[in-house]
Amino acid sequence: MLPFSLVRGRDLAGLAACCILVGLALIALMAPWISPQDPLAQNRTDQFLSPSLRHLFGTDEFGRDILSRVIHGARISLVTGAVAVLIGATVGVPLGLLGGFAGGLTDAAIMRVLDFLLAVPAILLAMVIIAILGPGSFNAMLAVGAVSVPSFARLTRASTLTLKEREFVVATRALGVGPAYLMFRTILLNAATPIVVQIAVTGAVAMLLEAALSFLGLGTQPPAPSWGSMLNAGRSFLYQAPWYGLFPGIVITLSVLSLNALADALQTVVDRSGAGRAAGPERTA
Amino acid sequence: MARYVLFRLIQLLPVLLLASVGVWLMIYLIPGDPAVALLGPDVTPEQIQRTRARMGLDRPLPVQYALWLGRVVQGDLGVSYLNGLPVTTMLAQRIPVTLQLTVASFVVALAIAAPFGIASAVRPRSWIARGVTGYNALAMAVPTFWLGILLVLCFGLWLRWLPTSGFVPFWQEPGRALRFLILPAFTLGAYVSAVLARFTRAALLETLYQDYVRTARAKGLGERPVIGVHALRNALIPVVTVVGLQFGAFMGGAVITEAIFDYPGLGRMLLQAILTRDYTVVQGTILFVVLAFVVINLLTDLAYALLDPRIRYS
């Protein structure tokens, strides 16, 4: 279990990251019950109130409570991260497995397409996908998911290539099992550790990308509270309400910092166990 | 060397072809008539007819692609439906603007990364090294868009030292241009500076324990020439790769940085084009970015040979 390995390894940063992420997940889960006010409730008389006991993070241009919006925004950010990673892994892992296992023309074809996808900076690729699908929260998730496919596929392919020559795989093959069993039971289970690290890395990149897309007005649309779109709105009122641009940014940075630290900690645990190394997708936001 | 360059150029063709297919296909993936997608909402039936004929929409798809590619190769990327300008002209206006920003942020990134990376490698257990590690972690986690907002808040609105938006061509008024460039260049360069500092440190740490560095020390050279001449030059090779690979980060970051600072570059143009569904402009910009990325990767490879006399391409 990861927490125990972290305690044993005295990995304070990793432990802190775990706590922050669990805290964020809890906040996201319980958002409707713990947020002090309705994140969408407008109150014209409360415009741009600075942080106080009644509004800990202040209010925005419509008099909405920023703390409540940040709490509800955690849901959007975490859900986007999770959905994007899920898409990336469910498409990327089988692709990499297939390419590495089949080799030859199949492998070459898959790799060339991935090369092309990697040649376009992640956020630009996501923007192109949104240009086709149209702006919106769900389309942003799809775009971010699609962008994370290549890193999963490449990682899985690399592990598959080394694993398929190992004795236990050759032995299993000699027993006469089919290729599907070999790929998904024998090889995939043994390639799982670096993929888990990759999930943490991709999660961080995905949250950042979603925030960047919403910041540009291409992701979650107002009035839904998303950290990126809050920053975008706050940008116009920096002078009247500096807190508007501060708090959502602090939360984004904290979550990305934690996910990065968690990925490092996981990598240390994986290194100790002797499995392969995960390759991070390029952060381009 | 010439043969190697030629070989690499031929290797680039499949990637570029694939990219062109992807960019071309975009128009067909958008729901509705591709001709209408290209022309925008306010068009006459005659215009649609003409564009349909030009695109050959009644012909098989491969023929349509060949027609399109033929025009692109001749430099005809189509016309923006919003302002009627050829996309090539629009690109030509925006490229120098974004180039000015990326070069400036690249200089900022290097100016931070080189001293940070070297100091933390030469004194690995000092407080400087710890400070650099902290800076790196932070600079890699702070989103570009938030960093930009913080800088605007701090240096633009509170201290009032620097302008918070706008663009002045460097080739017209270098002094004023620099004032306008400082905040966006730092916003865009911060992340890359952390990546570069990490790599410089790792690469330098590795070379510092090589035999030839020990020999250089043993023959009585001072620390400065040992690090500056012997170790650093060899440590530069992996760093150059990273610099080349960070081009993607620059282009992606430029979209956000340009949005924050109202900077009229390629990124802003692309964002505007996506928001207004000006698809010819989207196609042209993406095609240019992929081409630039591929060419820069090639140049990175060739830069190896210049830095490391042991690498000879043949």
What is the per-residue DSSP string for B172-233?
T-HHHHHHHHHHHHHHHHHHHHHHHHHHHHHHHHHHHTSHHHHHHHHTT--HHHIIIIIIHH
Per-residue pLDDT averaged across B153-166, rounded? 87
Q: With beta carbons under 8 A apart, name residues in chain B contacting A235.
A: 149, 152, 260
B3 or B280, higher pLDDT: B280
- pLDDT of A149 reads 93
Cα(B192)–Cα(A31) distance, rounded to whole angstroms? 35
B219 Cβ contact list (under 8 Å, min separation 6): none
pLDDT tens, B65-99? 888 899 888 988 888 877 889 999 999 999 999 98
Per-residue pLDDT averaged across B23-27, rounded? 86
- pLDDT of B312 reads 59
CB atoms B255 and A245 under 8 Å = no
Cα(B123)–Cα(B208) distance, rounded to whole angstroms? 11
- Of the candidates A115, A128, A215, the beta carbon closest to that of B145 is on A215
**Residue B130, CA distances (Å) to A12, B119, B124, B127, B195 in order:** 16, 11, 8, 5, 16
CB atoms B289 and A239 under 8 Å = no
> Does pTM surpass 0.90?
no
CB atoms A120 and B286 under 8 Å = yes
Which range scores top for mean pLDDT: B172-186, B223-237, B247-261? B172-186
B32 or B312, higher pLDDT: B32
pLDDT at B241 over 80: no
- pLDDT of A32 reads 87
Could you give phi then psi for residue B166, rounded to 5 degrees? 115, 175
pLDDT tens, A191-217? 888 888 888 888 888 888 999 999 999
- With an 8 Å Cβ cutoff, the interface of chain A facing chain B consists of 112-113, 115-116, 119-124, 127-128, 130-132, 135, 208, 211-212, 215-218, 228, 231-232, 234-235, 238-239, 242, 245-246, 249, 252-253, 256-257, 260-261, 282-285
Question: Can you tell me whether residue A65 is helix, strand or coil?
Answer: strand
Percent of chain B with pLDDT over 70: 96
Which of A224, A194, A235 is closest to A80 using CA atoms?
Answer: A224
- pLDDT of A280 reads 43
- pLDDT of B53 reads 79
Find the closest chain A residue to B257 by CA distance.
Answer: A285
Closest approach of B290 to chain A, Cα-based (Å)? 6
Cα(B213)–Cα(B221) distance, rounded to whole angstroms? 10
Closest approach of B251 to chain A, Cα-based (Å)? 7
- pLDDT of B150 reads 92
Closest approach of A115 to chain B, Cα-based (Å)? 8
Q: Which two tokens mark B217? A: 């020390």
- Of the candidates A127, A249, A257, the beta carbon closest to that of B137 is on A257
Q: With beta carbons under 8 A apart, name residues in chain B contacting A127.
A: 255, 270-271, 274
Per-residue pLDDT averaged across B203-225, rounded? 82
Q: Which two tokens mark A30? A: 């319980």
Q: Which two tokens mark A160? A: 């598959």
Cα(A252)–Cα(B18) distance, rounded to whole angstroms? 35
Q: With beta carbons under 8 A apart, name residues in chain B contacting A124.
A: 251-252, 255, 270, 286, 289
Cis status, amide bond into B60, omega within 30 of 0: no
Per-residue pLDDT averaged across B295-300, rounded? 82
Closest approach of B286 to chain A, Cα-based (Å)? 8
Would you place residue B190 in the very low, low, confident or very high pLDDT band (cuts 50, 70, 90)? very high
B57 or A149, higher pLDDT: A149
Closest approach of B232 to chain A, Cα-based (Å)? 26
B311 Cβ contact list (under 8 Å, min separation 6): B304, B305
pLDDT at B9 over 60: yes
- pLDDT of A284 reads 46
Q: With beta carbons under 8 A apart, name residues in chain A contacting B150.
A: 245-246, 249
Least confident of A83-87, A256-260, B120-124, B223-227: B223-227
Average per-residue pLDDT for chain B: 84
Q: What is the pLDDT along chain A (285 residues), one digit of tens a residue?
A: 566 666 666 678 888 888 998 999 899 888 889 888 888 888 888 888 888 888 888 888 888 888 999 999 998 888 888 899 999 999 999 999 999 888 888 888 888 888 778 777 888 889 989 988 888 889 999 999 999 999 899 889 988 888 888 888 888 888 888 888 888 888 888 888 888 888 888 888 888 899 999 999 998 888 888 899 899 888 888 888 888 888 999 998 998 888 888 888 887 777 766 544 444 444 444
CB atoms A249 and B149 under 8 Å = yes
pLDDT at B184 over 90: yes
Torsion angle of C-alpha atoms B212, B213, B216, B221, degrees rounded to 10: 170
Q: What angle do CA B270, B63, A129 make, to 5 degrees?
A: 30
Cα(B228)–Cα(B113) distance, rounded to whole angstroms? 15
- pLDDT of A285 reads 47
Question: How many CB pairs below 8 Å do chains A and B form together?
Answer: 133
Least confident of B152-161, B208-217, B240-249, B303-312: B303-312
pLDDT at B276 over 90: no
CB atoms B293 and A121 under 8 Å = yes
Closest approach of B212 to chain A, Cα-based (Å)? 31
- pLDDT of A279 reads 47
Per-residue pLDDT averaged across B39-60, rounded? 79
B3 or A92, higher pLDDT: A92
